[in-house]
Amino acid sequence: MNQHEELQTRIAAYLIDGLPATEVHRSERELLEHLPGCEECRDLMVDLREVASELALAAQPVAPSAHMDAAMRRAISEEPRLVVSVSERKPRRALAVALVAALLALPTTWALNLAGRLDQAEREARASTALEQLVSDPAVRTVSLAGKDAAMTLVYKPGSQGVLLADRLSPPPQGKVFELWFIRSGTPVPVDVFRPQEGRVRVDVSSVPRGAEVVAVTVEDRFVSQPTTAPIFVGTLA
């Protein structure tokens, strides 16, 4: 199977949520690199997106309970549409909101920029939705990753998504990338590689491993499954 065929199978897996969380981000990046130059794969993505979601129709419909209907109506009445407005009660959440407000105005990382030629709107919508979920959730936490001359911030929900943010960050040495890790029971779990753009970083994390104790960033030649250098940014998860 050549790379083109492999990516086509990746598109199919992605559209039915068949990739493990640890591969989603990397696969998205590879697809975003490939799709702009490949009309066949772009068409495939569009063609299969709709049919993948229609598989849902094969399931037997189940009418919601009266309780669910009532809860839904109550929830939308009580749910402020602007997430910022619900998040001003606690300093921690206010901080998260400020961070999110700031990052929404940021240019995205180099990987996300590739999306500009095809799927940026979708990705932004998804990322924004994920962020909205984060700041509107009382379980959201923020962690500072201390480094020598700078710091990064992770806004996350344990066992769910998160986002790593930084500003005024110097780039890694020429030819190198930063790599984000979670460490659980002493075992590093790789997340993704990234580079700051104009000093700014935003890395979406689809799933922060439950039970992870440490979040760290190393400098690597490329995406690796085991760190080859000591972390230059480290933070402790609550």
To the nearest whole angstrom, how small is the minimum distance from the Cβ of residue 22 to other proteins? Answer: 10
Query: Nearer to other proteins by C-beta: 62 or 238?
Result: 62
To the nearest whole angstrom, how small is the minimum distance from the Cβ of residue 233 to other proteins? Answer: 27
To the nearest whole angstrom, how small is the minimum distance from the Cβ of residue 186 to other proteins? Answer: 19
Q: Which long-range contacts (CB under 8 A, 24 or more apart) does 122-130 make?
A: 123/28, 127/163, 127/204, 128/104, 130/161, 130/163, 130/204
Q: How far apart are CA 220 and CA 63, in angstroms?
A: 52
Query: Nearer to other proteins by C-beta: 126 or 176?
Result: 126
Query: Nearer to other proteins by C-beta: 97 or 169?
Result: 97
Q: How far apart are CA 142 and CA 155, in angstroms?
A: 4
- Residues of this chain that interact with other proteins (CB under 8 A) are 1, 6, 8-13, 15-21, 47-65, 67-69, 71-73, 75-77, 79, 81, 83, 121-122, 125, 128-129, 132-133, 136, 159-160, 210
To the nearest whole angstrom, how small is the minimum distance from the Cβ of residue 166 to other proteins? Answer: 26
CA dihedral 2→21→114→172, nearest 10 degrees, is: -100
To the nearest whole angstrom, how small is the minimum distance from the Cβ of residue 176 to other proteins? Answer: 30
Query: Nearer to other proteins by C-beta: 49 or 176?
Result: 49
DSSP string across 95-150? HHHHHHHHHHTS---HHHHGGGGTTHHHHHHHHHHHHHHHHT-TT-EEEEEE-SS-
